[in-house]
Amino acid sequence: MLPPSPHAIFPHAVCSSPGMRPGKLGFITFVLPIILDGISNKIAPSLFMPNTIAMLQKDEFTFSQVAQRKRQDRAVQTAILASALSALAALSLALIKALLKNLPGQIALVLAGLSLTLRLAKGMRPAPVGSPADVLNRYEQKGGNAKGGAAGGSNEDFLMSQRISQQGYGKAPAPPPPLADGTDCV
């Protein structure tokens, strides 16, 4: 007979493992709340509690109390962020309206938009090399064979050539000294 599932034993437990929710959903539901809790707790420790994991490690809180407190924290965090974003949007809209009332303001607005676009485009750089596949892409851009890595070879040939070119690779160990009777074998 199979053991009961964890959900049968703990029906109200919520699994918040990033492996259970990959991608953006995992980030939004697991990583982002931990980051927000850390920032909020540092800014206003009397208003916000530490993150859920830290609270569950304390003996004075039950799981239900932690869940209830985190719901309260999320409501306050959401209200603060919504207020800040609303104020920023209203300020931006007022500034744009003021600039659009006269021709120099219109020109300044267009130039500011163009400048921002160029700065953002300049800031987008390719990621640094971090894996063999990235090394392969960089090699292909420098004139290597796009289909098979090293000229005419496979990706494995290319990676082996990279490994062999490393310092100290491929040097045979020194042979053991001969035995007392002059033979090489045991």
Q: How confident is the model at residue 74 (pLDDT cuts 50, 70, 90)?
A: very high
Residues 6+ apart with CB under 8 A from 96: 109
What percentage of the chain has pLDDT greater than the value 90?
21
Checking if the pLDDT of 149 tops 50, the result is: no
Residue with tokens 């920023």: 88
Q: Pick from 24, 79, 25: which is nearest to 47 by CA?
A: 79
Average pLDDT over residues 81-89: 94
Hey, what amino acid is at 141? Q
The two three-digit tokens of residue 42, written as one number: 């540092």
pLDDT on residue 53: 87
Which of the residue ranges 2-6, 50-54, 120-124, 164-168 has the most confident prediction, judged by mean pLDDT? 50-54
Q: Pick from 118, 153, 119: which is nearest to 136 by CA?
A: 153
Q: Tell me the C-alpha distance between 48 and 44, whole Å.
A: 6
Interval 25-40: pLDDT, tens:
888 888 888 898 999 9
- The per-residue pLDDT of the chain, averaged, comes to 75
Interval 110-131: pLDDT, tens:
888 888 888 887 777 665 555 5
Q: How confident is the model at residue 182 (pLDDT cuts 50, 70, 90)?
A: low
